[in-house]
Chain A
Amino acid sequence: MTFGETKREARLVAWPLAGLLSLLVLNALFDPAFLKITLLEGHFYGVPVDILTQSARTMLVSLGMTLVIATGGVDLSVGSVVAIAGAVCAVMLQDGQALSLTIAAAVGIGALAGGINGLLVARLGVQPIVATLILMVAGRGLAQLIVGGQVIIITSSAFEFISNGFVLGVPFAPVLVLALFVATHFVVRRTALGLFVEAVGDNETASRFAGLAVARIKTLVYLFCGACAGLSGVLVAANIKAADSYRAGENMELDAIFAVVVGGTALTGGRFLILGTVIGALLIQTLTTTMYNLGVPPAVAPVPKALLIIAVSLLQSEKVGRWLRGLFKKGAVA
């Protein structure tokens, strides 16, 4: 990676990071207790802890989405996969299956769903939006079929721990998700895999002529995205101790795409920033929490959210950046 590349990446991450920090400052000014973290029953307790725990679920879905978007695709089915995975967990735990087996099954079924998406996109050449739309629509029906249209309550406290538990006072879910991010970062950046993904997203034909197994790379990326969504489904179900096949993961694909794009990954493919996605997901959750904290009426809340996302996206755009720089230069001359 060249120096110029790193600099550009730093600029792309800088804006969402600045947005996140300014939100935190705004909240702290409004309510000094916002950033306060106390100890409660032996674990950390406070708004920042909540934001981390709540954003973990979206973050995990966004991790897989980052790589899919990097290949120039998109996966709309993640929300439905979250619902399916949750439904599988509820039914298996009700059946008295072991926890490890249950989680493996949830992740496995996510990977299977992702694999189907991958086959449709990579082998059959279906447009990613269409291919994943199929599972997005059918998946929720499947999830409802698994649980028989009921909300199934999960009583296993070990299962709940995955989302709501603490290790040495630190919330477990964000630690798990961040560890996965770090692991993914090393796997794709310390090997040629990341470069392959970017190459496929940049120019598929050229990559194929250069000898890359384009179809295999794409399938793998969708499979990974599905597995991430499956694990996120485990977190979502564990969070509310229930599998709600109607509402679980609803609109999650949109949040994930937001997080990825705000984090500096190009929707056109060919470039991805894993760290940026973490910040993007944190930014979206912090925004939601800010609305609660400032007491913004729920009917109005989507407006400031949209404005901030537009602002960050504009600031990341090279054209706007050049225009702004030009403006400042002119000002300096005059």
Chain B
Amino acid sequence: MHLAKTFRYLFIALSISLAATVLPAKQLKVGFAQTGAESAWRTANSESMKSEAKKRGIDLKFSDGQGKQENQIRAVRSFITQRVDAIVIAPIVETGWEPVLREARRAKIPVIITDRTIQTTDDSLFVCFIGSDFLEEGRLAAAWLAKAVNGKGRIVELQGTPGSAPANDRRKAFAEAIATFPNLKIIDSQSGDFRRSGGKEVMEAFLKKHGRNIDIVYAHNDDMALGAVQAIEAAGLKPGTDIKIIAIDAIREGVQAVADGRINCVVECNPLFGSKVYDTIEAILAGKKVPKKVFNKDELFDHTNAAAALPTRQY
């Protein structure tokens, strides 16, 4: 009886080690804890991670957090037990990541944070951050605008969701950049919650409140700008001509609107992280040193290049 049990264990151990040696050359295994599928931008972001993994023959374990941090933490734990080679997290919130990151470190799995930053007291818990520079986007928008209107005009701002990182940064950087132009003023600022209907509703209110005193609309995303375009048209004005519009994100529809002249300029917030993330992972696993912060390069589209860029827009 006792002997039989020992033999059984031996047999299991033997078959496992046999299976391990028979398995083909090791395929790279990466776990990705995505926030969810809350916007077209996010879908493009997930798609880029998946398609790039397929192209490179990487085994991607994709987990949809459905907007909840506990789902993401659970996903990261399961990645650790599955012994993946690297973990990528797009954190929903900034705090509360330390315990699970420590577990990953104990398992010697490198972690990469993408898209949004996290707050920890110990920066060595993750290898690096890859994301968009929301501040730079705000600065780019302000610089383009100041040049286009010769540093003069009254601006209304359509903010994103209050408290969200993109809304905070795009607001702050834009305000700082236009502060050097005394005749460029933000006369009103309200939140459209990153929604099309929100942008339309707020713009309708602004148009009644300020009448013809609005020269420029600065929207924190394309969706709100597209809503504002409708509100401006309904008020009998010509968007892009009577009121200049500048927005951030550069979804295909936004670039189309620039090509049509209804929006004057969109600054890109590129969701196609895939190739950069996997490049970084391969570099880390090869033992190379990678920079702590890597930003995706963002472009700017106005009447000069929007039409030409349209056919190649992926999202």
Q: Which residues of A contact B226 (CB under 8 A)?
A: 240, 242
Whole-angstrom CA separation of A236 from B200 in the bound complex = 12
B26 at the interface (CB under 8 A from A): no
Are B40 and A295 closer than 8 Å at their CB atoms?
no
Residues of B within 8 A of A144 (CB): 37
* Interface of chain B, main secondary structure: helix
Q: B299 at interface (Cβ–Cβ under 8 A)? A: no
Residues of A within 8 A of B209 (CB): 31, 33, 292-293
Determine if A195 is an interface residue (Cβ-Cβ < 8 Å): no
Of residues A33, A150, A240, A301, which shows the largest number of chain B Cβ atoms within 10 Å of its Cβ? A240
Which B residues touch A293, using CB under 8 A?
A: 205, 209
The answer to the question of A4 belonging to the interface, with a C-beta cut-off of 8 Å to chain B, is no
Cβ < 8 Å to A, chain B residues 164-221: 188-191, 194-197, 200-202, 204-206, 208-209
| B201 surroundings in chain A (CB, below 8 A) | 50, 54, 288
Tell me if A164 counts as interface (CB < 8 A to partner B).
yes
Q: Report how far A161 CA is from B155 CA in the complex, Å.
A: 30
Complex: A262 Cα to B311 Cα, angstroms: 51
B196 touches A242 (CB 8 A): yes
Complex Cα spacing A291 to B201, Å: 12
**In the complex, chain B residues whose CB is within 8 Å of the CB of A31:** 209
Residues in B whose Cβ lies below 8 Å from that of A239: 197, 200
Query: In the bound complex, what is the Cα–Cα distance between A212 and B43 (angstroms)?
Result: 50
Among residues of B, the one whose C-beta sits closest to the C-beta of A43 is B234
- Give Cα A93 to B246, complex, Å: 30
A289 touches B195 (CB 8 A): no
Which A residue's beta carbon lies closest to that of B195?
A247
Residues of A within 8 A of B236 (CB): 40-41
Q: Which residues of B contact A299 (CB under 8 A)?
A: 162-163
- Chain B nearest CB, measured from A220 CB (Å): 31
Q: Is the CB of B195 within 8 A of A150?
A: no
> How many chain-B residues does the 8 Å CB contact rule pick out?
32
Q: Assess whether B40 is in contact with A246, with CB atoms less than 8 Å apart.
A: yes
The residues of A that contact B190 with a CB separation of less than 8 Å are 291-292, 295, 298
Give the residues in chain B near A248, CB-CB below 8 Å. Answer: 197
Given contacts A40-B236, A149-B37, A289-B205, contact A240 B162 (CB under 8 A): no
Q: How far is the CA of A149 from the CA of B38 in the complex (A)?
A: 10
User: Which residues of A200-259 are within 8 A (CB) of B?
Assistant: 236, 239-242, 244, 246-248, 250
Q: Does B227 sit at the interface, judged by CB under 8 A?
A: yes
B230 at the interface (CB under 8 A from A): yes
Q: Does A188 have its Cβ within 8 Å of any Cβ on chain B?
A: no
Interface size on A, residues (CB 8 A): 36
Query: Quick check: is A92 within 8 A (CB to CB) of the other chain?
Result: no
Q: Indicate whether A46 reaches chain B with its CB closer than 8 angstroms.
A: yes
Which residues on the A side are within 8 Å of B6 (C-beta)? Answer: none
In the complex, chain A residues 38-65 whose Cβ is within 8 Å of any chain B Cβ: 40-41, 45-47, 50, 54
Interface residues of A in 281-321 (CB under 8 A from B): 288-289, 291-293, 295, 297-299, 301
- CA A50 – CA B231 in complex, angstroms? 10
Alpha-carbon separation in the docked complex, A297 to B186 (Å): 13
Residue of B nearest to A236 (CB): B197
Q: State A292–B190 Cα separation when bound (angstroms).
A: 7
**B196 engages A244 (CB within 8 Å):** yes
Q: Are A295 and B188 in contact (CB under 8 A)?
A: yes
Which chain A residue lies CB-closest to B191? Answer: A298
| The 7 nearest A-B residue pairs measured at CB | A298-B191, A292-B205, A299-B162, A240-B196, A298-B162, A149-B43, A247-B195
Task: List residues of chain B with CB under 8 Å of any chain A CB.
Answer: 37-40, 43, 159, 162-163, 188-191, 194-197, 200-202, 204-206, 208-209, 223, 226-227, 230, 234-236, 253
Binding site for B on A (CB under 8 A): 31, 33-34, 40-41, 45-47, 50, 54, 144, 149-151, 153, 164, 236, 239-242, 244, 246-248, 250, 288-289, 291-293, 295, 297-299, 301
Given contact pairs A240-B196, A301-B191, enumerate 6 new A-B contacts (beta carbons under 8 Å). A47-B205, A50-B204, A240-B200, A244-B197, A298-B189, A298-B191
